[in-house]
Amino acid sequence: MVYEFEGRTEKEAIDRAAEELGLEKDDFDVEILETQRQGLFKKGHVKIRVHTDKPVNAGPGAPEEEDEGSEETRPGKFRDHSQPVYGAPEPKDSFESAMIDFTGGLIERMGYSGKVSVLFREDRKLGLKIESEFSSILIGKKGKNLDALQLLVNIYAGRQGREDTRIILDSENYRIRREETLVRLAYTVADRVRESRASVLLEPMNPFDRRLIHTTLNDIADVETKSEGEGLYTPVRVYYRGSAR
């Protein structure tokens, strides 16, 4: 289920989503669609899209559910939460064993060999690490193969009665390396926009990558960002604040 909310700040929009949907903040993913900073003659404005597979208690003021046409990949939040678990890579219960076996089975049916182990454990989140000589193929261009595998594993976790637990797949530290690359890209593009006073449209990205661009540039006073288009992979446009759109 997908909903949209607005607020003066990202925190206000997320708080509103949690209150109106009757959910905890950890029960949904947040994709930032648009952010405008507060100025002398301009109020701050943030528009977010909330993704959740948990039942909601939406009140009369809650927005209508948005029909996306396809299920979103579940993005991880490596910057804020995930800490690798060292010395505990083996499954500690039947659920973790099932997730490891299922992931390994997917890789095998793709025609590749690999080892799957626990990367980290958190409240309602489990990270799995894939070690394989075919890691570059399993990750795919811009991580699309890894995202697809992650989606299938999360669907399987839901069928095991664990809709409340999100599975994050990683290989060769791709998630962290991708995050570092995107942060550098965001600052580079911001500098270009500030110099040229023209907007720059980035390549299509998944929800996690788009949110990273938005949050990275959120503190730069004269730069704004906005997601454009519909679907899972859409681009982010970076604007010079005050320029014509």
pLDDT band at 16 (very low <50, low <70, confident <90, very high): confident
Distances (CA, A) of 201 to 34, 62, 168, 219: 14, 31, 28, 19
Per-residue model confidence (pLDDT) at position 153: 95
Copy the structure tokens of residue 195: 């110099």
Residue predicted with more confidence, 106 or 46? 106
What is the pTM (predicted TM-score) of this model?
Answer: 0.58
3-state helix, strand, coil in the chain (%, to 5): 35, 25, 40
**Do the beta carbons of residue 241 and residue 222 sit within 8 Å?**
yes
Cα distance between the two ends of the chain: 31
Per-residue model confidence (pLDDT) at position 37: 58
Cα 193 to Cα 3: distance, rounded to the nearest angstrom: 31
Per-residue pLDDT at 66 exceeds 50: no
Residue type, 229: G
Percent of the chain, pLDDT > 70? Answer: 82
Per-residue model confidence (pLDDT) at position 219: 82
Copy the structure tokens of residue 120: 């980290």
Per-residue pLDDT tens for 117-136? Answer: 999 888 888 999 999 999 99
Per-residue model confidence (pLDDT) at position 80: 37
Per-residue pLDDT tens for 32-50? Answer: 777 665 543 345 677 888 8
**Do the beta carbons of residue 189 and residue 199 sit within 8 Å?**
no
* Residue 22 phi, psi (nearest 5): 70, 35
Residue type, 162: R
Per-residue model confidence (pLDDT) at position 63: 52
Per-residue pLDDT tens for 175-223? Answer: 888 988 999 999 999 999 999 998 999 999 888 889 899 989 988 888 9
**Do the beta carbons of residue 128 and residue 103 sit within 8 Å?**
yes
Cα 197 to Cα 205: distance, rounded to the nearest angstrom: 24
Going by C-alpha positions, the residue among 179, 186, 181, 153 that lies closest to residue 74 is 153
Per-residue model confidence (pLDDT) at position 146: 94
Q: What is the mean pLDDT of residues 220-235?
A: 87
Domains and CATH numbers, the chain: 1-67 (no CATH), 94-172 (3.30.300.20), 173-245 (3.30.1370.50)
Length, in residues, of the chain? 245
Cα 139 to Cα 162: distance, rounded to the nearest angstrom: 25
Copy the structure tokens of residue 84: 């690798």
Residue predicted with more confidence, 244 or 4? 4
